[in-house]
Structure 1
Amino acid sequence: MPTIATLTMNPTIDVAYEVNQVRHTHKMRGRKANYDPGGGGINVARVFGRLQGNANCYYLSGGAAGAMLDVLLNQRCFVRKPIQIAGNTRIATNIFERSTGHEFRFVPPGPEVTAAEADACLSALAEAEGQFLVASGSLPPGVPVDFYAKVGEIARKRGIRMVLDSSGDALRAGLSAGNVYLVKPSESELAGLVGRDLDTVEEIESAALQVVESGQAEMVAVTLGANGAMLVSNTGSLFLPSLKVEVKSATGAGDSFLAAMLYRLAVGDDPPDAFRYGMAAGAAAAITAGTDLCFPEDIERFHAQYADIAAS
Structure 2
Amino acid sequence: MPIVTLTINPALDVSTSTERVRPEHKMRCGPSRVDPGGGGINVSRVIRRLGGQSTAIYALGGPTGQAYRQLLEAEGIIGRVIPIGGSTRENVTIDETSTGDQFRFVLQGPELSDREWQAALDATEDASRLGGYVVLSGSLAPGVPDDFYARATRAAHRHGARAVVDASGEALEAALDEGVFLIKPSGRELGELVGATLTTIEDRVAAAEELVRRGRVETVALTLGGDGAVLVNREGTTRLRPPPIEVASTVGAGDSFLAGVVLRLAEGRDIAEAFRAGVAAGAAAAMTAATELCHRDDVERLESELAEASH
Q: Is the 8 A contact 1:164 1:171 kept in 2?
A: yes
Q: Once the 2 structures are TM-superposed, how far is the Cα of residue 37 of structure 1 from its aligned partner?
A: 0.5
Distance 1:20 1:304 in 2: 38
The residue that corresponds to 1:157 in the other structure is: 158
Deviation, 1:131, is 2.0
For residue 97 of structure 1, report the CA deviation from its aligned partner: 2.2
**Alpha carbons 2:242, 2:306 under 8 Å: kept:** no
| Cα distance in structure 2, aligned partners of 1:173 and 1:126 | 18
Map 1:61-80 to 2 at 5 A: 61-80=60-79
Report the 3-state secondary structure (helix = DSSP H, G, I; strand = E; otherwise coil) of the residue aligned with 1:192: helix
Aligned 8 A contact 2:125 2:152 in 1? no
Q: Report what 1:247 is aligned to.
A: 247
Matches for 1:135-150 after TM superposition, within 5 Å: 135-150=136-151
TM-score by length of 2: 0.95
Secondary structure (helix, strand or coil) at the match of 2:6 reads: strand
* CA distance in 1: counterparts of 2:73 and 2:17, whole angstroms: 26
Q: Give the conservation status (yes or no) of the 8 Å contact 1:128–1:158.
A: no
Alignment partners' CA distance in 1, 2:23 and 2:50? 41
Q: Distance in 2 between matches of 1:176 and 1:209?
A: 16
Provide, for residues 161-192 of structure 1, a one-character-per-residue CA deviation record: whole Å limited to 9, x for no partner.
110000111111111121x1111111121122
More off after superposition, 266-275 vs 43-52: 266-275
Q: Equivalent pairs: percent with the same residue?
A: 48
1:203 and 1:145 map into 2 onto residues whose CA distance is: 27
- Counterpart of 1:240, as a letter, is L
- 2: CA distance, partners of 1:252 / 1:167: 16
Alignment of 1:31-180 (within 5 A): 31-129=30-128, 131-178=132-179, 180=180
Deviation at residue 160 of structure 1 after TM alignment? 1.3
Q: Are 1:271 and 2:267 an aligned pair? A: no
Whole-angstrom distance in 2 between the partners of 1:28 and 1:200: 39
SS in 2 for 1:127: helix
- The one-letter amino acid paired with 1:16 is S
SS in 1 for 2:5: strand
Measured against aligned partners, the alpha-carbon deviations of 1:55-100 in whole angstroms (never above 9, x if no partner) come to 1110111111111111111111111211111111110111122222
Contact 1:3-1:53 within 8 A present in 2 as well: no
Between Structure 1 and Structure 2, how many residues are aligned?
Answer: 309
The residue identity in structure 2 corresponding to 1:48 is I
Which secondary structure does the structure 2 equivalent of 1:31 belong to? coil
Query: What residue is the counterpart of 1:302 in the other structure?
Result: 302
Equivalent-residue separation in structure 1 for 2:54 and 2:291 (angstroms): 19
Q: Distance in 1 between matches of 2:304 and 2:121?
A: 40
Q: Distance in 2 between matches of 1:158 and 1:37?
A: 29
Q: For each residue in 1:139-169, what CA deviation from the matched residue of structure 2 results, as whole angstroms up to 9, or x when unmatched? A: 1111111110100011011221110000111
Unmatched 5+ stretches in structure 2? none
Check the 8 A contact 1:101/1:248 in 2, yes or no: no
2:226 corresponds to: 226
1:48 positional shift:
0.3
Give, as a single letter, the amino acid of the residue that structure 2 aligns with 1:27: K
Is the contact made by 1:43 and 1:256 (CA closer than 8 Å) also made in structure 2? yes
Q: Is the CA contact (8 Å cut-off) linking 2:168 and 2:193 kept in structure 1?
A: no
Farther-moved stretch of structure 1 (287-296 vs 125-134): 125-134
CA deviations over 1:203-258 (Å, ceiling 9, x no partner): 32221121112221111101122222110000111011244322111111000000
Q: Secondary structure at the match of 1:6?
A: strand
Distance 1:30 1:76 in 2: 26
